Amino acid sequence: MQRLCVIAILAACLDAVTAQYNFKWAPATINAPAVVGFHVPGVPAWTQWFSTNNKDAGESPPGNIQKCTSGGDNVWGASFDDGPTPYTPRLLEYFAAKKLKTTFWVVGYNVQANPDILRATYDAGHEIGIHTWSHTHLTQLSDDEIIAELVYGARAVFEVIGKYPKYFRPPYGDVDGRVRSLAALVGLRSVIWSRDSQDWVYYANATAINLIVPNNFKSWIDAGSKMDISLEHDFDPSTVSVGIKAMDMLLDAGYTLKPFGECIGETALYGNSILPKFFASGLFESKLAPVQTATEVHGIPIAVITSTYRSEAAVKTSTKTSGVHAAASFSTGFLAVFLALL
């Protein structure tokens, strides 16, 4: 009887762990021309809903945010794209040691793969922004597909932190007036950068990345750059390592590192007013369009993004067991060990 009670208690705990995040709604990545990349299918009914319920926002959308506007000339808006990944925690440790915060622009399918890391990032006080669902070129998609990329990306973030951001970063900085108008319908504004570290170019070459990226930051510091927002990444150990080195350079030069929201004076980073209404409408669950089955494109696995510099990171993160499954595996193993001791 005692053994059965223990089994029941541990089974209940396991159910609680596996129920922590629900990604049953998550779409399969679909095939598309190689020049476009992989993206989620568009849903005309979603586009119509946003066009009807937030039409004024899409008529004259604001431009991209590219630099800091608050906090003084020595403020620097550091940001890291493409996570969460298994390498993100090292950045969290660094910023915790420095007692500083930063901004992470997260990809939906990476959130699905690493929800616990995103939760830890948010709980540590860092800012979270949307970086679409599948990291594709938005300007090359249809209106419906752009809306879907933003909606799925937003839902992934909400699933973990319980909030909907008001800002998104277009992958590759690939954004135009049409994309901004559609994003405005979803309650989102575009944020890009003024300084590109180029870590994504050289991440696979240890010598190059550790020479070129620090030299880029040195040149900006020497030139007296003011109120910049920099682009860096947490998809690879090399980009994380050089990112830490760059942050130390900025601090040593007297810059004040601030997350994006603080560097533009934003006090309601997650105050998206339109997305909660959309999800309450029931259209997300009904979808009103089939989610296509994952396939290969030109023999390339769906996990591999068309951009060569992110292919390795994409494979690593997409094949990694999700946080839910990892927690379930741990709990199952714990159950077996515990029972063996009885």
In 10 A of CB 274, how many CB atoms? 19
Contact 38, 29 (CB under 8 A): yes
Nearest to 290 by CA among 44, 87, 70: 44
Spatial distance between the Cα atoms of 139 and 97, rounded to a whole number of angstroms: 39
Spatial distance between the Cα atoms of 63 and 85, rounded to a whole number of angstroms: 30
Spatial distance between the Cα atoms of 296 and 14, rounded to a whole number of angstroms: 34
Contact 171, 135 (CB under 8 A): yes
Spatial distance between the Cα atoms of 247 and 99, rounded to a whole number of angstroms: 13
In 10 A of CB 336, how many CB atoms? 10
Q: Return the half-sphere exposure (C-beta side, CA atoms, 13 A cut-off) of residue 96.
A: 12
233 is catalytic: yes
Dihedral class, residue 176 (left if φ above 0, else alpha if ψ from -120 to 50, else beta): beta
> Residue length, the chain?
342
Buried b (16+ CB within 10 A) or exposed e, 102-120: bbbbbbbbbbbbbbbbbbb
Task: Select which of 39, 199, 233, 234 is catalytic.
Answer: 233
Task: Select which of 81, 82, 199, 236 is catalytic.
Answer: 81
Contact 160, 119 (CB under 8 A): yes
Q: What tokens were used for 53?
A: 């319920």
Q: What tokens were used for 198?
A: 């180029």
The set of catalytic residues is 81, 233
